Amino acid sequence: MSASLQKLLTEQAPNTAGLHEAMALHTEAIFKEFKGILPLFLGKRDGGPFVNLTLPNAVTESSEALLQTICDFIWVYNLRVISFVSAIRIQNETTGANELSAVLITADKAHNYFQLPWKLKFDDNDDISSSSRSSNASDLIPREIWSQLFAAKVTPDSRTISYDRLIERFGTADEIPQP
């Protein structure tokens, strides 16, 4: 985990809302420093350390792959809270055109759910020139899905299948923590 994210986590309340705000502040710092979207994942194990990774393109290219990967993380690492940032396309309210944006979603076993989309502006080089927090009336990923993922009874076989899928998406077992 980066030192800046670790520092932000210590400055926020030690709960899911605090984790969400720390991830939001970290993401906004990345927008400014790197002028792009870095797809991040942070999960807290039930009885262990955080899992913190940058998500590869193979995961973020489709909502199905992203959701399956998040599900696999929850099951393999027995996570009680997850938070992730990803690029998304959101329909512009005035023009109707799809625009590149970013979203942070944080959810936990206790049914807390936070969603933060950002409106992004890009310069001529396709770098982020500005970002602003926005709101979205509907959940991008329905809350019920999170409850189901955290409540699922995971068998050793399904955990192994999920771990193998993570290795496939990340390219090698060296890219992800041991379960």
From residue 5, alpha-carbon distances to 9, 26, 49 in Å are: 6, 6, 14
- Whether 104 has a pLDDT exceeding 80, the answer reads yes
Mean pLDDT of the 23-30 span: 92
Short-list 19, 11, 24, 30, CA closest to 128: 30
pTM: 0.88
- Tens digits of per-residue pLDDT, 55-80? 998 888 888 899 999 999 999 999 99
- pLDDT of 1 reads 59
Mean pLDDT of the 101-110 span: 90
Residue 177, amino acid = P
- Tens digits of per-residue pLDDT, 148-169? 888 888 999 999 999 999 999 9
- Whether 2 has a pLDDT exceeding 90, the answer reads no
Is 50 in contact with 57 (CB distance < 8 Å)? no
- pLDDT of 159 reads 94
- Tens digits of per-residue pLDDT, 128-145? 999 999 876 667 777 888
Burial 133-170 (b: 16+ CB within 10 A, else e): eeeeeeeebeeeebeebbeeeeeeeebeebbebbeebb
